[in-house]
Amino acid sequence: MRGWCLAAACLCGIAGCRGSGRIELASLNYGAIDPPAPRLTRLAVQECYWWTDQDERVWVAMQRKQSLPLNPKLQFEFQLSFALEKLPAGKARNYRLAGEELRARVHFGAWESRFTARVGIVALYRATGDRLRGSLRLRATRLSSRLLGGWSRPVPYLMLGTFEAVRDEQRGRPIAALTESAGWQRRAAAPQRRAGPAARPSGAVKPR
């Protein structure tokens, strides 16, 4: 019994070192309702990291990878990254999004989608253990790759979520690089305007 308890504790520690989160997506396409179906898509994030760069910007990068049970070689991937002005000077800070702060990627077989932010808000909260908790609410634009090349027409999406990030630049940078791959690099972004003090989070995302 003691051995099982030690193993469980180790597994919990490993999961906690990777961070966690939850992202919800809803299409705001008013020209067609199916596809996509009129429902929320919920993604449980398996990894979430944060770090700062030489310009003092704070980065948050998260991802989910999942293989299909009937075809392990076919994998679903979701990556998302934020590049925000600076860490909160106090316990929390809100950041307004203007377009360059968010990049997200969905990859499944030969199909790929990219998300950029149009307008929205992200809040960061300092947590114990050198962690950052966060929440987001924004309007994003999705473009999907076409079989014959090029990209589809932009489709607006609502994106909501919460996350808990651990500090780990080594693991986070490759995730952020995927969100900027194939010509989706960020341009130099203007400093974000403050959106006022961040409210205390109503609930925390428990590390998995």
pLDDT digits (tens, 9 = 90+) for 7-41: 333 333 444 699 999 999 999 988 888 776 778 99
Q: What is the pLDDT of residue 188?
A: 67
* The pLDDT of residue 150: 85
pLDDT the model gives residue 189: 52
pLDDT the model gives residue 8: 33
> In DSSP terms, which residues pair with 97 in a beta bridge?
120
User: What confidence tens digit (pLDDT) does each residue in 68-92 have?
Assistant: 888 888 899 999 999 999 999 999 9
Instruction: Please say whether the beta carbons of 158 and 26 come within 8 A.
Output: yes
Residue 16 pLDDT: 65
Dihedral sign computed on CA atoms, order 81, 167, 125, 25: positive
Q: Output the pTM of the full model.
A: 0.83
Task: Encode 137-157: b = buried (16+ Cβ within 10 Å), e = exposed.
Answer: ebebebbebeeeeeeeeebeb
C-beta of residue 180 within 8 angstroms of C-beta of residue 65: no
pLDDT at 70: 80
Mean pLDDT, all residues of the chain = 85
What is the structure's pLDDT at 37?
73
pLDDT of residue 32: 82
Q: What is the DSSP string of 77-125?
A: EEEEEEEES---SSSEEEEEE-SSSEEEEEEETTEEEEEEEEEEEEEEE
pLDDT attached to residue 72 = 80
Q: How far apart are CA 199 and CA 125, in angstroms?
A: 9
pLDDT (tens place) for every residue of the chain, 208 residues total: 333 333 333 333 444 699 999 999 999 988 888 776 778 999 999 999 999 999 999 999 999 999 988 888 889 999 999 999 999 999 999 999 988 999 999 999 889 999 999 999 999 999 999 999 999 999 999 999 976 778 899 999 999 999 999 999 999 999 999 999 999 999 865 455 556 556 655 444 443 3
